Structure 1
C-alpha cells in the first residue's frame, strides 16, 4: 500500500465536517490540485501540544510574548527533510510552488495576482471584513460573557444589512467578468475562492439556521450557485 506523504492538520469538531474557514482554504486547494493527503484531526485544546510535538511553527505571538499555535498546518514527507508549515496562505503558496499544474491557467494564485489577492483577503478574511459574519462581537470584548456582548435586536439587524451589502457588491463584481462559471475566475479555483469559499462553508456548517440561511437568500441565489460550483472540491475523507 502506498504511503500518504502529505499530512494535513485540521480541527476536530462535533460535526462530521470542519468548521474553520482557514482550514477549509487549504482543504479546497489540496482537493483542487488532486493531491493525496491524510487528515490528522486535532482537538482545539491539543493544538499547541500537537504542533510543538511535530515541530510545527507558531503562527503569531500573544501580547505577553507567548507563541500562538493555530491550524491549519501541513507536513509534506515527500522530501528530506520534510516541509513543515503553518498558516493557510503560506501553505497554499507552498503547494503552488511545489505542485504546480501543467496548465498555468489553473493556478490558484498566479504571481501577477498576488497583490490583488492580498487586498481581497484584507477586505474579506480579516475580522473587520466580511468574516465578521462568523463572530458576534468585536475582539476587544473578548473575556466577557457572550450573553452580555452578543449583538441583538436592531444592532444585529444593522450588522446583517451591512454584510448583505458587502455580498451584493461581491456578486456585482463577479458578474462584471467575461466568460462562464460561478467562481471569481470562471470555472477554476482561485485563492479568492478559497478564502470566500472557506468562510461560506464555515457559515453553512456552523450557523445553518441564521448565517447560511441569510446568505443563501441574497444576491438572487448567487451564493447557492457558488457553493454548488465549489462542491467538487469539498470532500472530507
Structure 2
C-alpha cells in the first residue's frame, strides 16, 4: 500500500471516551485486528448504538447481516467502506458501486481483505489448518442472532470456527454486559435496547453477582478447557494456533478476549488470563501488535 491509497473506513460502536481504551464490541474488533494484520490505512467512524439501524438501512442502504428468530433485522456493526474496491462483494450482505465497496459483516470483511490485499501486511489471514473443536452450544440456543455460516465461502473451516466461537462466548456475555463502557449520551437508550433484546425486565437483571457469578465464571473456565484450550496446545511453540504465525482464527478468539478484558473486573480478567497455563493471556498479549485503534 502507498501513502496515496485512500483510507478505508471502519464503523464501530461508540463507547465511553477515550474510545481507544474502551471500545469493546467483539465483531468490530475482529475487523480492526484484520485491518491491522493486513497493515492497511484506515480510520474509525464511531456510531452511537441507537443510530446504527438508521445508518445501515437509510444512510448506507446496507442489508442486515443477521435477523432475529421472528425475522426482524438485527442492524449491527462493523461496517467497512473500501474506496479501493468496486467489484461485487461476493455476498448478499454487501453493496458495491463506482465509489467503493460496503460490507456489513466481520467475516465478509476478512474475506474481502484477503481477496483484495493478498500480499499486504503479515500474510494470509486464512492459512490451511484444522479448526474443529467440540462444542454443545449452537446459535439456536442464543437470544442474539449470529452471522449465518457461509458454506460457499472459500474459507468455510474458518466460517464454521467463527460461528462456533461466537456461540461459545455469547453464552457467557452475561459476565460482561453490566459493565460495558457505554457512551454516556446514549447509555440509557443502549441499555433499554439490550434489555429488549434479552427479554429482561430491567438493566439490573444483567447485574450478575455473588454465587451465580462465581458459578458462571467456573463454567466459562471449564468450557474453555474442553473446547478451545486443546486447539491452542497442539503447537506448543505458540502463542497462536499455528505456533508463531497468527491467522484469522486467532483474531476471532482475540476479539472476544478484548471484550472480556474491557468488561470484566480486573481480578476476573486476571483469572481468565491465567486459565489453562495462561493460553489466553499469551494470545491476548501477542495480538497487541494488531490492536491499535485508529
Do Structure 1 and Structure 2 share a fold, with TM-score over 0.5? yes
1:225-236 equivalent positions in 2, closer than 5 A: 225-236=282-293
- Give the 3 Å change call, closer, same or farther, for CA 149–9 of structure 1 in structure 2: closer
- Give the 3 Å change call, closer, same or farther, for CA 30–149 of structure 1 in structure 2: closer
Aligned match of 1:157 in 194, 210, 214? 214
- 1:57, 1:85 within 8 Å by CA — same for their partners in 2? no
Structure 1 residue 35 and structure 2 residue 52: aligned? no
- 2:12, 2:78 within 8 Å by CA — same for their partners in 1? yes
Report the aligned-residue RMSD.
Answer: 2.9
Number of aligned residue pairs:
233
- 1:7, 1:37 within 8 Å by CA — same for their partners in 2? yes
1:1-237 equivalent positions in 2, closer than 5 A: 2=4, 4-15=6-17, 16-17=19-20, 18-51=23-56, 52-62=58-68, 65-80=71-86, 81=98, 82-101=100-119, 106-110=123-127, 114-126=155-167, 129-136=168-175, 141-148=198-205, 150-169=207-226, 170-177=228-235, 180-209=237-266, 211-237=268-294
Q: Aligned partners of 2:165, 2:85: CA distance in 1, in Å? A: 34
- Give the 3 Å change call, closer, same or farther, for CA 174–35 of structure 1 in structure 2: same
Q: Deviations over 1:30-76 (max 9, x none)?
A: 00000111111111111122222123222223456443321000111
Aligned to 2:190: none
Q: Deviations over 1:177-230 (max 9, x none)?
A: 26x330112223222212110000011112243542321231222222211210
Q: Aligned partners of 1:70, 1:141: CA distance in 2, in Å? A: 15
Specify every segment of 5 or more residues in structure 2 that has no aligned partner in the other structure, as ranges.
87-97, 131-154, 178-195
Q: Aligned partners of 1:90, 1:19: CA distance in 2, in Å? A: 20
Q: Which has the higher contact order (CA 8 A, sep 6+)?
A: 1
- 2:261, 2:269 within 8 Å by CA — same for their partners in 1? yes
- Give the 3 Å change call, closer, same or farther, for CA 49–215 of structure 1 in structure 2: same
